[in-house]
Amino acid sequence: MKTYRKRGRFAGRQSLLIIIVLAFVHCFVVWFIIEYTKYGRIITRRQGNRNRKVEHKFVVEVNLANGVKGTYTPKDTRVDRRHRYNDISDDEALERYLTDCQRRALLHGVFRPYKGYLTITIPVIKRYNNSVVLVESTLNSLISSTQQKDISKIVIVVFLLTNDPVWFEKAGKHLYNKYKEPVDKGFIQIVCGHRNGLSKLLPFPGVESRKEKERREENFQFLNILGYAKNLSTYTLLLDEDVLSQRDYFLKILGFIKENTRTYRVWFVLNFSNSNYMGQLMKTSDSLKLIKLLVFLRYDLNYWSLVEYMRGLKGQKKTYRIKNPTFRYIDIKRRTFLPKNYSKI
């Protein structure tokens, strides 16, 4: 009887040891799958969706060209894979995608076979009376202030910022009929940003707060402008509706760029008006960096904060503003796309 009991105890202990060993092997196999196989990444993404309201902070390392590096810590980043950012690390693939979106966005106009010197962007919002009088004022001023010999160096892009297909078709046709000659020559291009496919870079998430939605939509508008204007010219100038330009504005822009293009002076943006937003000029070679950061930090920074952040990364320590403003608003009380924010100087 005692021998039977000893054998039973030994068998029980042996079974327990086998269970422990099998459990250890099972844990090791699961760990190996999660760490080193593609199935582990799928499991991690599924588990990450459960932590919707968990907030944490992390540091985004920014690697820019010319050896410029920097870091930024987002204030409100949530662990939700529906908010995951698209893979935009492949510059060549992103360039091809932006070019394809550019072709789809053009309503009226032609692409020139060469790269220009200056692209002037004019965002246009839909008004309650469907009027485009304010953008016509800006276009009339630019056309009358541009010398004939400079037309081949400049491209004016009118962005109809709306998702209403009836309005942008009607407004685009009206502007084309009024400015048919400069449009057919490639001097003016009429664009609808909402049909270019760039929204895939900012996918609509399943859940977002009101503040997140407003910031995403605002950044999407600037993504349209930057993505379309990237390969057209060497420099991009952001204007607005209801703007007057000085005569020979192009010569003044050339002179100010030359004045600030020195070996010891680094700049990311130049200002050609008293407004802190309207009249900003930047190099199109910096657009791709700005686009990638705009996509990656679309919930954390608005466009203007991102421009200031990039300016600091590039080493521009102060604002370079032309003394005699080249552009000004006709009526600062009128509502336009860009906010009316003026410098104290």
Answer for the pair 88, 293: CB distance below 8 angstroms, yes or no: no
* Rounded alpha-carbon distances, angstroms, from residue 268 to 99, 159, 214: 23, 23, 26
Q: Of 37-46, 128-137, 159-168, 234-243, which range is least confident?
A: 37-46
CA 142/CA 8 separation, integer angstroms: 98
pLDDT higher than 70, residue 175: yes
Choice among 142-151, 152-161, 181-190, 198-207 with the minimum mean pLDDT: 198-207
Residues 6 or more apart whose CB falls under 8 angstroms from that of 160 comprise 107, 124, 126, 167, 168, 171, 172, 190, 191, 192, 193
Residue 143 has pLDDT above 90, yes or no: yes
Q: At 33, is the pLDDT very low, low, confident or very high (cuts 50, 70, 90)?
A: low
Mean pLDDT of the chain: 77
pTM: 0.73
- Strands, E, within the chain: which ranges? 55-56, 60-63, 69-72, 77-78, 106-108, 116-125, 154-161, 188-192, 233-238, 243-245, 269-271, 280-283, 320-321, 327-329
pLDDT over 60 at 38, yes or no: no
pLDDT at position 154 is 96
- Rounded Cα gap, residues 138 and 132, in angstroms: 10
Query: Above 50 in pLDDT, residue 224?
Result: yes
* pLDDT of residue 52 exceeding 60: no
Average pLDDT value for residue range 319-345? 84
pLDDT at 303 over 60: yes
Cβ atoms of residues 138 and 178 within 8 Å: no
Tokens of 82: 């529906």
Lowest mean per-residue pLDDT among 44-48, 159-163, 219-223, 266-270? 44-48
CA distances from 51 to 46, 83, 286, 313 (A): 10, 12, 36, 33
- Span between the terminal Cα atoms of the chain, in Å: 103
The average pLDDT across 191-205 equals 64
Q: Which of 258, 257, 259 is nearest to 270 (CA)?
A: 257
Cα separation, 303 vs 311, in Å, equals 12
Lowest mean pLDDT among 98-102, 118-122, 130-134: 98-102
pLDDT > 70 in the chain, percent:
73
Sign of CA dihedral 65, 240, 168, 106: negative
